[in-house]
Amino acid sequence: MIPLSVLSVFVPTFLLVSLTPGMCMTLAMVLGMTQGVRRTLWMMLGELAGVGLVAFAAGAGVAALMLRQPELFAVFKWLGGVYLGYLGVMMWRSRGGMAIPETLEAGPPAARGQLALQGLVTAVANPKGWAFFVALLPPFLDAARPLAPQLAALIAVILVIEFLCLLLYATGGQTLRRLLGRRDSVRLLNRAAGTLMVGVGLWLALG
């Protein structure tokens, strides 16, 4: 068990960080706008898996080694950035499964696996996320106690907070779609969502 004194500091610290707009939260808002909250849950599943992996690596000391090898991130984050940028351009043009359909004859929505992969890539390919966990987790781990139970408890707290924040952003995106969801506004929504998606891709590739 994690002492309440530790949780009383850890929870508000991570909550504040998670609520701050970032790549994953922007992605959740974009997909909430174009796919709806229910389908965005698949992206969240992938993102949470990525966050859990990065947090575990940070707590186990692996992340410090990874951060000394920036070339390990370079290809992965550039490929991820280009992929997200491509999706953004397709959304801007109201094409592809990520876009809001303008007609009943539009193609099927984005596949669940595609959404989950987006979330996973965005979470794992972000070096700033690795650096953040390296800085955040160790101060809350007690070297005098077994590492595994502490790390498992903190990661569980992280995932709950991250999920709630993702859900908040996705709901905000879906609400925006409903407010501007008239037929003549669909193209505008797709262009706004596509622009944000391209921005996330650039953020990931150049960050």
Residue among 161, 155, 124, 147 at smallest CA distance from 52: 155
What are the pLDDT digits (tens) for 95-135? 766 666 655 444 567 789 989 998 998 898 877 777 778 77
pTM of the model: 0.76
Higher-confidence residue of 86 and 69: namely: 86
Count other Cβ atoms within 10 Å, centred on residue 42.
21
pLDDT at residue 171 greater than cutoff 80: yes
Nearest Cα neighbor of 166 from 16, 12, 27 is 27
**Bigger pLDDT: 168 vs 149:** 168
For residue 65, how many other CB atoms are within 10 A of its CB?
A: 10
Contacts (Cβ under 8 Å, ≥6 apart) of 175 = none
pLDDT > 80? residue 136: no
DSSP 8-state secondary structure symbol assigned to residue 5: H
Fill in the amino acid letter for 117. L
For residue 94, is it left (φ>0), alpha (ψ between -120 and 50) or beta?
Answer: left
DSSP state of 107: -
- Total structural domains in the chain? 1
Mean pLDDT of 156-167: 95
**Cβ pair 30, 173 in contact under 8 A:** yes
Q: What are the structure tokens assigned to 179, written together?
A: 């407010």
The torsion angle over the Cα atoms of residues 166, 207, 92 and 174, rounded to 10 degrees, is 10
Pick the residue with more confidence: 102 or 88?
88
In terms of average pLDDT, the best of 14-18, 48-52, 128-132 is 48-52
| In contact, 122 and 73? CB cutoff 8 Å | no
Tokens of 119: 């979330």
More confident residue, 150 or 75: 150
Question: Which residues form the domain of 110?
Answer: 4-206
Q: What torsion, rounded to 10 degrees, do the Cα atoms 177, 22, 85, 126 define?
A: -150
Percentage helix, strand, coil for the chain under 3-state DSSP, each rounded to 5: 80, 0, 20
When mean pLDDT is compared across 5-9, 77-81, 97-101, 174-178, the lowest value belongs to: 97-101
| Confidence check: pLDDT of 17 > 80 | no
